[in-house]
Amino acid sequence: MFWARKVVEEIDREEVAKLVACEAERLYRSGKMHCAEAVLASVKGHFAPEIPDQVVRLAAGFGGGSGAGCICGAVAGGTMALGLVADLDKKGAAAMTRELHLWFKKEHGATCCKILTAKGKGGCLKLTVGVAGKVAELLQERK
């Protein structure tokens, strides 16, 4: 029985991560949100819908590497989403953020927007979708 329940929980985790990723894609493609906003909004919408939508405005300055090209906006949005949704102390939030950054670096080689977009911003949608899904996975693992 425990094994069967665990399998169902794993399937549900994957489905939730896919839903969050698809929502981030929809928001990004709409042109109304950049990477950081889309990640934060999609995670908030699925994990903390009771929090006012205005909180997404916090991500407004993080697109395009915070205007300076450094940290990827999707990663910044994911970091904000972890802090917003996870009921953790600072150490717990830092651990989840570290896990997100390590995963992102392993997948993409860097977290610096300038490096990631050196050949154009064509990959930003993929980064946004991936981070949103990964944040959803991380949050579900902590339940």
How would DSSP label each residue in 24-37?
HHHHHHTTS--HHH
pLDDT (tens digit per residue) in 83-133 = 999 877 788 888 999 999 999 999 999 999 999 998 888 999 999 999 999
Other CB atoms closer than 10 Å to residue 130's CB: what's the count? Answer: 20
Other CB atoms closer than 10 Å to residue 32's CB: what's the count? Answer: 10
Question: Residue 116 CA to chain centroid, in angstroms?
Answer: 16
Higher pLDDT, 16 or 69: 16
At 66 the pLDDT is 86
Radius of gyration of the chain (CA): 15
Given a contact cutoff of 8 angstroms between Cβ atoms, the answer to whether 63 and 41 are in contact is no
d(CA 65, CA 72): 5
d(CA 23, CA 46): 9
Residues 6+ apart with CB under 8 A from 64: 34, 73, 113
At 8 the pLDDT is 37
At 64 the pLDDT is 84
Q: How confident is the model at residue 143 (pLDDT cuts 50, 70, 90)?
A: low
Element (H, E) at 104: helix 90-108
Domain ranges of the chain: 2-141
Higher pLDDT, 32 or 5: 32
Nearest alpha-carbon partner for 28 in 103, 127, 141: 127
Query: Per the confidence metrics, is the pTM higher than 0.85?
Result: yes
Q: How confident is the model at residue 10 (pLDDT cuts 50, 70, 90)?
A: low
pLDDT (tens digit per residue) in 30-80 = 999 999 999 999 999 999 999 999 999 999 999 888 878 789 999 999 999
